[in-house]
Chain A
Amino acid sequence: MDKTREIDSKLITETVKKLFIEANTTLGQDVVCALKDALTREESPLGKQVLEKIIDNAYIARREKMPICQDTGLSVLFIEIGQDVHIIGGDLRAAIEEGVRQAYQDGFLRKSVCDPLTRKNTQDNTPAIIHIDIIPGDRLKIIAMPKGGGSENMSAAQMLTPAAGSEGIKKFVIERVKQAGANPCPPIIVGVGIGGSLEEACVLAKKALLRSVGEANNNDERLAKMEKELLESINKLGIGPGGLGGRISALAVNIEMLPCHIASLPVAVNIQCHVSRHKEEII
C-alpha cells in the first residue's frame, strides 16, 4: 500500500516565510526567562541595566513587529523530511529560497548576504544555508534560524588530539569565549559540537543552539556535567552583559556529541548572541 503523503511546495514557502518573520521579531520564551533570571543574579549595576534594556527591547520588538536586532542574519534552516513525504508543485530548495525571499522583503528584514569577494549584496538574503535530514514518517519539520554575523565571526573549530581529552575541550571552549569578549553581544549561548568530522562537529555545534536555554543534555550525563562546569567557568571570566563587566557572560552552554575517528577529537564552538532566534513547525 502506498503510504506517500503529498505536501505542496507552496505550503513550504509560506511556512518558511512565516517562521523567519516570527523568529526575527519574537524572542523565544526560554531566552526571555533566562534573561530575567540573569537579572536577579547579576551583581554589576551596569550589567543589570544592560539586561533590563535587552528585556525591554524584546517586548518593543514584539509589540511593534520590528526586528529584535538589525542583523536579521543568514537564513539557516534545518529540514527533516519523512521518507514517505512526496513534495508536489515545485522543488524543495526553490520553495525554501522563495520563503526566505518573501520573509526578508515583506517582513522588512535586513538583507545581509553578499558575494564573498566583490561584497555585492544578493538583495534578497538568499542563498539560505539548508541542512536536510531524511527521517522515518510522513511529516516535514522546518526549523528557521536567523544567525547573526557578529557572533558567528567569534566561532571556531579545532581538531584536537585524543590526548587533549575533556580538559582540552574545556580549555578550547573557554579560551574562545574569552577571546570573543564583548564582540558577540554577551550574554551569549555557547553551542559546542564534539566528535564526528570537521564539518559534523560544526553542524552539531549549531544544532546545540536549537535546544531550549536552560535545558541540559538529556542523552548523556557526562555532557550535562560538562555543560554545567563550562557555564560556571565562563561566568567567572567577568565579561558580563554587553561586555561591560559582570557575572553573567553566558546564559547557557549546550553540547552535542557523536563518535569520531580514533585519531581525532574534533571540537567546534558556535557562539550565539543573546538574540537567540529559532522557530519551528511540523507540516
Chain B
Amino acid sequence: MNKKENMARHIEIPLKADAISSLKTGDMVLLSGEVYTARDVAHRRLYEALNKGDKLPFDLKKAVIFYAAPAPTPPGKMIGSVGPTTSYRMDAFTPKLIEHGLKGMVGKGNRSPEVIAAIKKHGAVYFGAIGGIAALSSQCVKKAELVAYEDLGPEAIRKLTVVDFPVIVINDPAGNDLYAQAENRWRINN
C-alpha cells in the first residue's frame, strides 16, 4: 500500500465549502462533529415538510445525514451498535434535501444519477462507511441525543457527536463514483 492510500484526512462538520471541493473520490476521511441519523420514513417526513414549507426539526444547512438506525443503547454505553444502511432507498428524497442545504451524506451502496447530479450541482459529497461493523463504529460516537420523530423508534432522527469516524469519499463534487471506478479496476473479463 502506498502512503497516499494509507493517509486519512481529518474533516470537521459543519462541512466548509473549500473542504468539500478539495475532496476526491477514494479519499479516506476521519469525520468529526455532529451528524443526524435519518433513514426511510424520516426522509419522507423531511421531504414532505420541505414541500409544505414547514420548519424542519434540524437545520439542513451544511449538515451531514448518516443513513442509520442504531441498536438500543445498553447500560454503560453511549450508544448501541451503529452503522450505515443502504443509501439508494433515500434517493427519491435526497436531491430536494441537497437543494435545501444538505452537504454530506454517509451510507453504503450506490446512488442514482439524480443524486449524483445534485451532489455535483450544489457542491455536496457522499461518503461511504463500511457496513456490518457496527460494534466497532459505535466507538466513534461520543454523544447521542434524540432530535425528532420519536414514534419511529430506531428510525427516529438522532444527533450523534462523532470523533474520527472513518469514511471514504464515494461521490465527490466533481461527479466521480468510487464504486464504478473500483469495479473497472478489479473486474476480470473472461
Contacts and interface: CB of A to CB of B under 8 A. Distances in A.
A247 B153 contact: no
Contacts of A242: 108, 128, 130-131
A245 B183 contact: yes
A60 interface: yes
B13 to A, nearest CB: 21
A244 B168 CA distance: 9
A163 to B, nearest CB: 23
Interface in B165-190: 168, 178-179, 181-190
Interface in B48-104: 68-74, 77, 80-83, 85-86, 88
A273 B131 contact: yes
A66 B132 contact: no
Interface in A72-111: 72, 108-111
Interface string A108-124: 11111000000111010
A53 B133 contact: yes
B19 interface: no
Nearest to B85: A150
B183 A57 contact: no
B154 A236 contact: no
A45 B1 contact: yes
Given A110-B70, A182-B108, A238 B131 contact: no
Nearest to A67: B81
Contacts of B130: 50, 53-54, 242
Contact of B186 (A123, A153, A238): A238
A119 B190 CA distance: 44
B18 interface: no
Q: Is the interface of A mostly helix, strand, loop or mixed?
A: loop
B188 A66 contact: no
Contact of B131 (A69, A112, A236): A69
A240 to B, nearest CB: 6
A117 B70 CA distance: 22
A110 B186 contact: no
B135 A238 contact: no
Interface string A190-233: 00000000000000000000000000000000000000000000
B138 interface: yes
Contact of A240 (B133, B152, B182): B182
A167 interface: no
A237 B131 CA distance: 20
B74 A119 contact: no
A121 B155 contact: yes
A61 interface: yes
A108 B132 contact: no
Given A54-B132, A108-B74, A185-B131, A71 B85 contact: yes
A64 B179 CA distance: 33
Nearest to A273: B132
Nearest to B87: A183
A31 to B, nearest CB: 11
A68 B128 CA distance: 19
Contacts of B168: 46, 244
Nearest to A119: B41
B136 interface: yes
A238 B72 contact: no
Contact of A108 (B71, B128, B155, B181): B71
Nearest to A239: B183
B108 A66 contact: no
B137 to A, nearest CB: 8
B14 interface: no
17 contacts: A44-B186, A53-B130, A65-B74, A66-B80, A69-B133, A70-B69, A70-B134, A71-B134, A123-B153, A149-B85, A150-B85, A150-B86, A181-B179, A183-B88, A185-B132, A238-B187, A245-B185
Interface of A: 44-46, 50, 53-54, 56-57, 60-61, 64-72, 108-112, 119-121, 123, 149-150, 153, 181-185, 236-240, 242-247, 273-275
Interface of B: 1, 5, 40-41, 68-74, 77, 80-83, 85-86, 88, 108-110, 128, 130-136, 138-139, 151-155, 168, 178-179, 181-190
Given A46-B168, A181-B179, 8 more contacts: A45-B5, A57-B133, A60-B139, A70-B70, A111-B153, A121-B152, A274-B132, A275-B132
